[in-house]
């Protein structure tokens, strides 16, 4: 579907808007960024990564070793566990993205800044996210992330803007209206 094919349902004079398309690769990259910035997931991963090696210190074979070995053992095993859990998270995201149709997430999008909120249009929905509901705004070199509800995140690729100044203008307007720093 072409981004021009999205008919507006909420009518009002158009203000600042952007049209873009998301593919599976965009979705995977963005979901991994969101997971990496989820405090609960990071803390749980750290707790499990450190918890298992620390519990293993009670083993008589390890308990009889030097303090230097124990420190090395805990750090090394924690790093291995953290990497293993990260690989599992990445694999789960890939499987989820490949097995799910993600209707309304993949394909053409239009985001429009209005006085009452941010309007999102796709080929399957049109929604209004009011400014007080915005929780957080993040960015990477390639994407702008807008957390517009408990579990709703909009990913806007910077490649859809004609210039870096236009991307900055869009982001600044979102931050100003949502009052999220």
Q: What is the pTM of this model?
A: 0.68
Which of residues 107 and 171 earns the better pLDDT score? 171
Is residue 5 very low, low, confident or very high in pLDDT (cuts 50, 70, 90)?
Answer: low
Domain ranges in the chain are 14-22+103-178, 30-99
For the stretch 77-115, pLDDT in tens is: 888 988 888 888 888 877 877 776 667 778 889 999 998
What pLDDT is attached to residue 8? Answer: 56
* Domain 14-22+103-178 belongs in CATH node 2.40.50.140: no
* Measured distance between the N- and C-terminal CA atoms of the chain, rounded to whole angstroms: 34
Does residue 173 carry a pLDDT above 80?
yes
Residue (of 42, 123, 26) closest to 82 by Cα position: 42
Section 23-39 average pLDDT: 83
Closest to 44 measured CA to CA, from 98, 81, 4? 81
Q: 119-127 contacts: CB < 8 A, separation 24 or more?
A: 119/10, 120/154, 121/6, 121/8, 121/9, 122/6, 123/1, 123/5, 123/6, 126/8, 126/9, 126/10
The residue ranking higher by pLDDT, 149 or 160, is 160
* Predicted pLDDT at 1: 52
Average pLDDT over residues 49-57: 86
169 phi/psi in degrees, rounded to 5: -60, -45
């Amino acid at each position: 579907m072409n981004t021009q094919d999205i008919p507006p349902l909420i009518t009002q004079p158009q203000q600042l808007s952007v049209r873009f398309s998301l593919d599976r690769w965009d979705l995977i990259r963005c979901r991994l960024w969101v997971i990496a910035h989820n405090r609960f997931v990071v803390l749980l991963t750290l707790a499990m990564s450190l918890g298992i090696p620390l519990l293993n210190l009670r083993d008589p074979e390890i308990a009889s070793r030097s303090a230097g070995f124990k420190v090395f053992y805990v750090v090394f095993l924690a790093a291995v566990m953290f990497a293993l859990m990260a690989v599992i998270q990445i694999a789960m995201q890939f499987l989820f993205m490949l097995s799910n149709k993600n209707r309304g997430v993949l394909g053409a999008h239009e985001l429009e800044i209005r006085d009452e909120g941010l309007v999102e249009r796709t080929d399957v929905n049109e929604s209004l996210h009011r400014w007080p509901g915005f929780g957080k705004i993040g960015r990477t070199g390639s994407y702008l992330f807008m957390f517009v509800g408990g579990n709703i995140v909009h990913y806007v690729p910077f490649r859809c803007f004609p210039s870096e100044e236009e991307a900055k203008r869009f982001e600044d307007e979102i931050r100003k209206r949502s009052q999220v720093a």
